[in-house]
Structure 1
Amino acid sequence: MNIQVSDIGHIIQLAIAPVFLLTGVATKLSVLINRLARIIDRTRVLEDRLLVANNDRYTQELSEMYKRSHLINYAITCSTACGLLICLVIAMLFIGDTLNLKLDRYIALFFVVAMLALISSFVLFLLEIRIAARHMRLRHLNSLPNQH
């Protein structure tokens, strides 16, 4: 089997779109990991405060931090799975074209599953943001002086 340079160029052209998608997923992972780090930092502060004073407000906020961390962890898992599937799509594009294998259905299937994982990651991220925003609104409302 003899592979032409033009064939390799064609394969690279096919792989460019998934590579850009992979870059976006990597950026999204960076955002998710930074949010998780902030949640972990706040959780440690709350846990330390609970050791000093058993306060229901700290307990409630800590519970919200645990919910948020679970959502972010699931979003990270989905984004990572998406990235892995995109890498497999790129590999299958090269393997299929180089070895003249019919991998079209597998490529399509893996791409659809990657998109479902990406969608799931965005939904989980949105849910985490909603919890954070609700908590911020409640803290703001609780900090306002009572108006009679």
Structure 2
Amino acid sequence: MLPTLPGVATIAQTIALSLSPVFMLAGIGALLNVLAGRLSRVVDRTRALEQLHPRSTGPEHDRHVWELRLLDRRISIINAALFLAVSSAVMTCLVVVLLFIATLTKLHLGTLVALSFILAMLLLILSLCAFMVEVRLSLRAVHVRKELLR
């Protein structure tokens, strides 16, 4: 007996089910774009300060060291956020693949699909939390120094 392939309606239903994760991928892509842009700006600022650092003395030197430490911390946080967002995207892709495998093979992978989606969401949440921490950290360097306001 030949195995029966799923009908067009079943495939169409699977495609419809996979649309939500695909929209999530679009959102993750936008987040990755923002994170990469922030990382680029932080790296540019770091390079500029690294040029000024050897020629500075006194309070200006201390300020450069402080900002370089802050920038180094921001780079680490953005890298973590990028890793988490990409991991979330990979898990989201796995959800879509599992949906189609389950449909084509008639396997009952509902629990695995659900757990994969939950993991994708948790990774995305962690990425967004890291992004929020980095934004808060970046605001430390944005404030006008008190000595300039006197």
Could you tell me the TM-score, scaled by structure 1's length? 0.93
Q: 1:142 to 1:114 in 2, by over 3 A?
A: farther
**Equivalent residue for 1:59?**
65
Q: Pairwise mapping of residues 74-85 of structure 1 onto structure 2 (< 5 A)?
A: 74-85=80-91
Q: Within 1, Cα distance between the matches of 2:69 and 2:85?
A: 24
Q: 1:2 to 1:35 in 2, by over 3 A?
A: same
Q: Is residue 38 of structure 2 the alignment partner of residue 35 of structure 1?
A: yes
Structure 2 residues not aligned, in runs of 5+: none
Q: Is residue 132 of structure 2 the alignment partner of residue 126 of structure 1?
A: yes
Q: Is residue 15 of structure 2 the alignment partner of residue 12 of structure 1?
A: yes
Q: 1:7 to 1:142 in 2, by over 3 A?
A: farther
Q: Within 1, Cα distance between the matches of 2:92 and 2:147?
A: 46
CA RMSD of aligned residues (A): 1.1
Could you tell me the TM-score, scaled by structure 2's length? 0.92
Measured after TM superposition, the shift of residue 140 of structure 1 is 4.3
Q: Within 2, Cα distance between the matches of 1:73 and 1:40?
A: 12
Cα offsets for 1:22-61 (capped at 9, x unmatched): 0000000000000000000000001111132251110100
Identity %: 35
Aligned residues, how many? Answer: 144
